[in-house]
Structure 1
Amino acid sequence: MSLTIVSLLPSLQNTNGDAENAAVLAARARWAGLDAVVAAVERVEDLPERVDAVVLGSGSDASLDRSRQALLGLHDHLRRWGTEGVPILAVGTGWELLSWGIELPDGSTVEGLGIVAGRAVPAAARIAGDLVVKASGGLGTLIGFENHARDYVGAEASPIGRVQAGTGNGRGSGQEGVRMGDVLGTHLHGPVLAKNPRLADLMLARMCERAGLDYRPGERTARVDEYAEAARSAQLRAAGVAASAHA
Structure 2
Amino acid sequence: MTGNPSSELVIVSLYPRDMNIYGDRGNVLSLVRRARAHGFAPRIVEVNPGDPMPDRVDIVIGGGGQDSGQGRVADDLQHRADELRDLATSGVPMLMICGLFQLFGHRFVTQTGSELKGIGVLDVETRGGDERMIGNIVLHSDEFGEIIGYENHSGNTKLGPGSQPLGRVLQGSGNNPDDGTEGARTGNVIGSYLHGALLPKNPAISDFLIGTAAERRYGSFAPSAAMPESVERARASAKRRPR
Normalised TM-score (structure 2): 0.91
| d(CA) in 1 for partners of 2:193, 2:76 | 21
SS at match of 1:173: coil
Q: Is the 8 A contact 1:23 1:38 kept in 2?
A: no
| d(CA) in 2 for partners of 1:153, 1:171 | 11
Distance 1:20 1:170, change over 3 A: same
| d(CA) in 2 for partners of 1:213, 1:232 | 32
**Structure 1 residue aligned with 2:236:** 233
| d(CA) in 2 for partners of 1:86, 1:7 | 14
42-51 vs 126-135, greater mean Cα deviation: 42-51
Q: Is the 8 A contact 2:49 2:73 kept in 1?
A: no
Normalised TM-score (structure 1): 0.89
**Structure 1 residue aligned with 2:68:** 62
Q: Deviations over 1:136-183 (max 9, x none)?
A: 3x2111110000011111347611111000000114101101100101
Q: Deviations over 1:19-55 (max 9, x none)?
A: 3312222221112222111110114643212100000
| d(CA) in 2 for partners of 1:99, 1:213 | 30
| d(CA) in 1 for partners of 2:26, 2:236 | 22
Distance 1:100 1:81, change over 3 A: same
Pairs within 5 Å for 1:87-126: 87-126=93-132
Which of 27, 35, 46 is the matching residue for 1:40? 46
What is the identity percentage for the equivalent residue pairs of Structure 1 and Structure 2?
33
Pairs within 5 Å for 1:13-32: 13-32=19-38
Q: Is the 8 A contact 1:118 1:153 kept in 2?
A: yes
Q: Is the 8 A contact 2:16 2:63 kept in 1?
A: yes
Aligned-CA RMSD value: 1.8
Deviation at 1:98, TM superposition (A): 0.9
**Structure 1 residue aligned with 2:150:** 145
Query: Which of the two has greater helix per residue?
Result: 1
| d(CA) in 1 for partners of 2:80, 2:132 | 30
Deviation at 1:239, TM superposition (A): 5.0
Q: Is the 8 A contact 1:96 1:120 kept in 2?
A: yes
27-36 vs 96-105, greater mean Cα deviation: 27-36
What one-letter code is carried by the residue in structure 2 that aligns with 1:41?
V
Q: Could you list the runs of 5+ residues in structure 2 that have no partner in the other structure?
A: 1-5
SS at match of 1:46: coil
Q: Does 1:10 align with 2:13?
A: no
The count of corresponding residues between Structure 1 and Structure 2 is 236
